[in-house]
Amino acid sequence: MSPTTGVVVAHGRLAAALVEAAEGIAGIHGALIPISNEDCGPDELRDRVEGPTRTGPVVVFTDLASGSCTLASRAVGRRRDSFAVVTGVNLPMLLDFLFHRDMPPAELANRAAEKGHDGIRVLSDHESSDGA
C-alpha cells in the first residue's frame, strides 16, 4: 500500500499555517496538502477536497466538527474506500501522522485523534516545573 496522503481542510489560512508548521518541525515535506474554504461555496469546496484525494489512502484533517470543511470532506469520503476524516486538527496529530503514514487510514485517523487529544493540556502558573 502506498503511504497515506494527509489533507488539511480549514477556514481561512489555517490549513496552510498548520501544514507549514508541521513540515518545518518534522522536516518532512509534501505529505500534507492544505486546502482553504476561503471564497468558495459548498460545491467548490467539495471539488477542492476531491482533487488531491482521488487515489490512494487518505486522511483528511478538518478544523471544526460541524463546519463546512468537515461537511465537504465527509461528502467526498462517502464515495471512497481508504478514506478517513478527523476533526479538531492540531499540530500534535499532524506531526504523528507524518511519521506513521504507512498505517491504514482508519487506524491512522484513530491514532491521530488520540495524539491530538493527548497534546491538549491545562498548565497552571502556580505549579513548579518539577510537579511540586
Segments making up each domain of the chain, as ranges: 5-118
Alpha helix (H) ranges present in 67-118?
A: 68-77, 91-99, 105-118
pLDDT in tens, 116-128: 999 999 998 876 5
pLDDT in tens, 63-90: 999 999 999 999 999 988 899 999 999 9
Question: pTM, whole model, 2 decimals?
Answer: 0.91
Can you spell out the DSSP letters for 22-33? Answer: HHHHH---SSEE
- Domain boundaries 5-118, CATH class: alpha beta
Q: Provide the pLDDT for residue 125.
A: 84
